[in-house]
Amino acid sequence: MTSTPATPTATTAAAETVSAAFPAAESADGTGLHGPVTDWFDEHARDLPWRRPEAGAWGVMVSEFMLQQTPVSRVLPVYEQWLARWPRPADLAAEAPGEAVRAWGRLGYPRRALRLHAAASAIQERHGGDVPREHAQLLALPGVGEYTAAAVASFAYGQRHAVLDTNVRRVFARAVAGRQYPPNATTAAERKLARALLPADEDLAARWAAATMELGALVCTARGPECVRCPIAAQCAWRLAGSPAHEGPARRTQTYAGTDRQVRGKLLAVLREAVTPVPQTVLDAVWHEPVQRARALDGLVADGLVEPLAGGRYRLPLT
């Protein structure tokens, strides 16, 4: 399973793809990117709790769920509380799902809390309480998609996987494709490129994955990239092309005010704070428009985030 630098097929495929996208690449790793990026990472990586050895695979998995669309700064305190309360998957699986939703706090997208609880239960039932090591088994868990499966396998278990998140996609778009931003949806070409750029050595591949993510998060940011601090600025295709502005249609701006999501958020905020079941009349006060309010509440119930009780009362789910 482990590739070596001498493996002909992998190396050849990588070289072809890379040379097609980046003709000037001639150094040992095919691109000249590995050394500068991993060296930069060694010096500048943040000391995040889920990167410490004691975090374990469960800590890595919890962090990955929380970091799906939520910034590090907001995840940090909730992560610490979560791991202190539920240090193993079995601990979370033994709780009511509503407690996971409550502990999720204001991280947003609370369905992630429900899925993390469901993942903990699945880990308990299918894997004896240990976070599985295999990508396919990780991918089968609730709330674990292509990215999270690769991230856990790579960061927790040191395996060789292409970890393609929004940061890595942006770094590759700029450094290799010469564009300011990656495509809206992840393309086959991006996956192919990510695989081609992945170092053959397993340990180096895992460090490369973390390093490219960190570079995108700290230096090669979406808005104001700090190219003066970038270890690969001299090789960056986008920069060499004169940093051309993004072509094509503007990214779809996600509206929030007045949407069902906002109403769901207001309803759930009330239920999170409540110790006892909440009467319908209290929920009615959070939004003026009755049709949308009812639709939002129905949606929360359908998602399993809210449990309806007799007498028009509601609470976070016990089962």
Partner DNA sequence: AATCCGTGGGG
Partner DNA sequence: TCCCCAAGGAT
- By CB under 7 A, is residue 88 in contact with DNA? no
Rounded (5°) CA angle 152-75-166 = 55
Q: For DNA, which residue of 84, 223, 228, 319 counts as binding (CB under 7 A)?
A: 223
153/200 with CB nearer DNA: 153
- By CB under 7 A, is residue 269 in contact with DNA? yes
- By CB under 7 A, is residue 63 in contact with DNA? yes
CB-based contact 158:202 (threshold 8 Å):
yes
- By CB under 7 A, is residue 221 in contact with DNA? yes
Nearby residues of 276 by Cβ (< 8 Å), 6 or more positions away: 315
- Pick the piece of the chain touching DNA (CB under 7 A) from 63-71, 85-93, 195-203, 279-287: 63-71
How many other C-beta atoms can be found within 10 angstroms of the C-beta atom of residue 77? Answer: 10
Interhelix angle 56-67/72-85, nearest 10 degrees:
140
- By CB under 7 A, is residue 265 in contact with DNA? yes
Active-site residue, selected from the candidate residues 64, 190, 202, 214: 64
**Least distance to DNA, CB of residue 89, Å:** 16
Q: Which two tokens stand for residue 172?
A: 């590759």
CB-based contact 167:217 (threshold 8 Å):
yes
- By CB under 7 A, is residue 61 in contact with DNA? no
Binding flags for DNA, 176-195, as an x/- string (CB under 7 A)? --------xx----------
Scan residues 9-48 and list those touching DNA (CB under 7 A): 48
CB-based contact 300:267 (threshold 8 Å):
yes
Nearby residues of 186 by Cβ (< 8 Å), 6 or more positions away: 164, 169
Helix or strand holding residue 308 (H, E) = strand 307-309
Sheet holding 307-309, edge to edge: 278-279, 313-315, 307-309
Residue 164 Ramachandran class (φ > 0 left, ψ -120 to 50 alpha, else beta): beta
Binding flags for DNA, 233-252, as an x/- string (CB under 7 A)? -----------------xxx
Scan residues 110-169 and list those touching DNA (CB under 7 A): 110-111, 115, 142-149, 151, 165-167
- By CB under 7 A, is residue 51 in contact with DNA? yes
Please confirm, yes or no, whether 64 is among the known catalytic residues. yes
3/146 with CB nearer DNA: 146
Q: Where do contacts with DNA occur on this chain (CB under 7 A)?
A: 48, 50-51, 63-64, 67-74, 106-111, 115, 142-149, 151, 165-167, 170, 184-185, 213-214, 216-217, 221-224, 250-254, 256, 259-262, 264-266, 268-269, 299, 305
Active site positions, annotated: 64
